[in-house]
Structure 1
Amino acid sequence: MLINLSKEAKQGMKEEIISFFYQERDEEIGEIAAEAVLDFCLEKLGPYIYNEGIQDAIKLISERNTNTEDDLHSLKRPLYR
């Protein structure tokens, strides 16, 4: 697993999974099953979500660099010959 979660975060996610199964599927699952679902999601879906986050960061940095480049060009002084 690429993601290291704090105990508190992992516990909160497991509680959300348990709640989801109960509310949406009318199933009661325990901590072990919830942890298995969490591990599966992190392993199989995590890389897709992570890569989308990276792509969003690339886009944001690219836009900021373009803005910075435009700002720098606006500071140029005219040349007289």
Structure 2
Amino acid sequence: MTIELDKDARQEAIASVERYFRENMEERIENVAAGGLLKFFLEEVGPLICNRAVADVQKRMQARVSELDIEVHEDEFPYWRKLDRKQHDRK
């Protein structure tokens, strides 16, 4: 699965790469090179990040699903038990 960025996100990411180089490296990186580096990382490392994120979400969802029976559990056939309890309390 190829990770695609919309035009605005891509421009912002390229600007971020350029700023990173400007503030942390001894040499600057031009817009075209920053775009190429971004493309490389999206293609090379992007799937790893995506897969990890999906695995984390699956783990959280499985935990929530396993708690579902506790959250939405209702006693079955409660009518007579409630009625019997009320009658017992009246005595």
TM > 0.5 fold call? yes
Say which is worse superposed, 46-55 or 23-32, in terms of deviation. Answer: 23-32
What residue in structure 2 maps to residue 28 of structure 1? 28
Aligned mates of 2:65, 2:54 — CA distance in 1: 16
Deviation at 1:71, TM superposition (A): 2.4
Which TM-score applies when normalising by structure 1? 0.85
What residue in structure 1 maps to residue 9 of structure 2? 9
Aligned mates of 1:76, 1:26 — CA distance in 2: 68
**1:41 correspondence with 2:51:** no
Deviation at 1:40, TM superposition (A): 0.8
**1:55 correspondence with 2:55:** yes
- 3-state SS, counterpart of residue 26 of structure 1: coil
Deviation at 1:77, TM superposition (A): 3.6
Deviation at 1:65, TM superposition (A): 0.4
Q: Which runs of 5+ in 2 are unaligned?
A: 82-91
Equivalenced residue count is: 79
Which TM-score applies when normalising by structure 2? 0.76
Deviation at 1:66, TM superposition (A): 1.1
Say which is worse superposed, 61-70 or 43-52, in terms of deviation. Answer: 61-70
Counterpart of 1:51 in structure 2: which amino acid? N
Q: Which runs of 5+ in 1 are unaligned?
A: none
Aligned mates of 1:5, 1:24 — CA distance in 2: 25
Aligned mates of 1:41, 1:4 — CA distance in 2: 12
Compare CA radii of gyration and give the structure with the larger one: 2
Deviation at 1:78, TM superposition (A): 7.4
Conserved 8 A contact 2:3-2:47 = no
